[in-house]
Amino acid sequence: MKRILLLLMAAIAMQVGAQDLAHYKKIIKELSSKKYQGRGYAEDGANKAGKWIAKEFTKAGADEVICQPFKLDINTFPGKMDVRVDGKKLIPGEDFTVREFNPSLKGEFKLYYIDMQNYNPDKIFADLETPEYKGAFVVCDFMFTYKHHADFNKMQSKKDCSCSGFLYTWETPLKFYKAYGETVKEKPILWVKPDFPKNAKSIKVNMENKFLKGYECFNVIAKVEGNRHDSCYVFTAHYDHLGKLGKKTIYPGAHDNASGTAAIITFAAHYAKNKPEYDMYFIAFSGEDANLRGSEWYAEHPLVPLKQIKYLFNLDMIGDNNPEQYCEVSDEGMQGFSSFEKINAEKGYFKKLDRQKLADNSDHYPFAKRNVPCVFFMNEHGDAYKYYHTIHDTWENAIFTNYEPIFKLIKDYIGK
């Protein structure tokens, strides 16, 4: 009889875990679907996703759900995105991407290749003023421009150089960013694949940007009440992503960061069913891909004093399959992190908690610099990581291996 009871309890425990994983997968599939247009800004995809997330928190059993509004300036590309090299059409997101600060541009331009073996900036600037190459697009390897950034920054000024734009070869799959999209620069930069032709003659561009000034978006904040209200735990993840590149190319963002958003919703559901000792807050940030704008806004306008946060857990791209878990920890969070390491050593959730230097690379940072104990979990260098910020970060390429170990590690930490 005792053995049957134990087997039943084990079966129930397995069923609960499976149900959490099923819920997690369902949320990722929803958020990475086409209806949210990559959860960007131009098509209001981020806000549509945010409204859905608010409803999902309510369904999960949160005691309170609030949408905290803020504004940002952001450059977007919802219009024409046609690029042809020697008459061959390039596919957005696959054959090329653009820098987030690009202006609109239309026309046909000659190509000028930088001689990287015999680099001579004076000759380059002189060549670009000749009738043959005046107004040309400059072609170069992206990493080479880092070594000579002062020269290339000068080329980007219309006052100092008459070139019309830049083609930089870079590794594949090509990535797209938003972090520096709050301004529009004078000349466009396109990233192209390493196999870009070495002797192409011309490029034809019809590219449209749309700058959104004072775009209204919001953080979604859910609360599950605990027995005590003097302190709290905070779970964070960003739900915005890159949106679109042109009219048809969508960046789904399944791993980045539908995975983290899904995780904090399932945490909310767990603690709604299992009343915690302390209040629990679950914050889905917008504006992370626009340089941490949502988390910075919240840290400046918190719903509860930051000093009441016992620990903050930031989850960004956590569903991958690397057995070593990447972490960043604030100075105030180091004592708590030693507890994470002890739990992991006992339970063997991960081969290693790989703590790296604190950086401004996700939503924990605005809290870390304000002395909040916090940890950032991200699964780096797994099989899904290579797709982040690309059009291939899809539901079909999503991996869910590390969701349950992360869930259990944090739950154990709070339980202790």
Alpha-carbon distances, residue 205 vs 96, 107, 109, 153 (angstroms)? 12, 5, 8, 22
Preceding peptide of 173 cis, ω within 30°:
yes
Q: Write down the domain spans for the chain.
A: 25-73+213-415, 81-207
pTM: 0.94
H or E element at residue 288 = none
What pLDDT is stored for residue 8 in this prediction?
Answer: 44
Task: Give the strand pairing for 189-192 and 96-98.
Answer: antiparallel
Q: How far apart are CA 323 and CA 414, in angstroms?
A: 22
Looking at 67-204, list the stretches that DSSP marks H as alpha helix, in order from N- to C-terminal side: 121-127, 142-147, 149-155
What pLDDT is stored for residue 3 in this prediction?
Answer: 52
- DSSP for residue 180: T
Q: Token pair of 128, please?
A: 């670009």
Strand, helix or coil at 163?
A: coil
What pLDDT is stored for residue 198 in this prediction?
Answer: 95
Q: How far apart are CA 369 and CA 390, in angstroms?
A: 30
For the chain, the farthest-separated pair of C-alpha atoms sits apart, in whole angstroms, at: 93
What pLDDT is stored for residue 19 in this prediction?
Answer: 52
CATH fold, domain 25-73+213-415, is Aminopeptidase (3.40.630)
Q: How far apart are CA 191 and CA 142, in angstroms?
A: 8
Q: Tell me the average confidence (pLDDT) per consecutive run of 10 residues in the chain, 416 residues long.
A: 46 48 97 97 96 98 98 97 98 98 98 97 97 97 96 96 97 96 97 96 98 97 97 98 97 98 98 97 98 98 98 96 97 97 98 97 98 96 95 97 97 96
CATH fold, domain 81-207, is Glucose Oxidase; domain 1 (3.50.30)
Q: Of the candidates 177, 297, 307, which has an alpha carbon nearest to the alpha carbon of residue 243?
A: 177
Q: Of the candidates 287, 411, 313, which has an alpha carbon nearest to the alpha carbon of residue 368?
A: 313
Q: How far apart are CA 186 and CA 197, in angstroms?
A: 26
Q: Of the candidates 312, 258, 325, which has an alpha carbon nearest to the alpha carbon of residue 282?
A: 312
Alpha-carbon distances, residue 10 vs 6, 15, 68, 223, 347 (angstroms)? 6, 9, 41, 30, 17
310, 373 Cβ separation under 8 angstroms = yes
264, 237 Cβ separation under 8 angstroms = yes
For residues 112-127, b (16+ Cβ closer than 10 Å) or e, as one string? bebeeeeeeeeebbeb
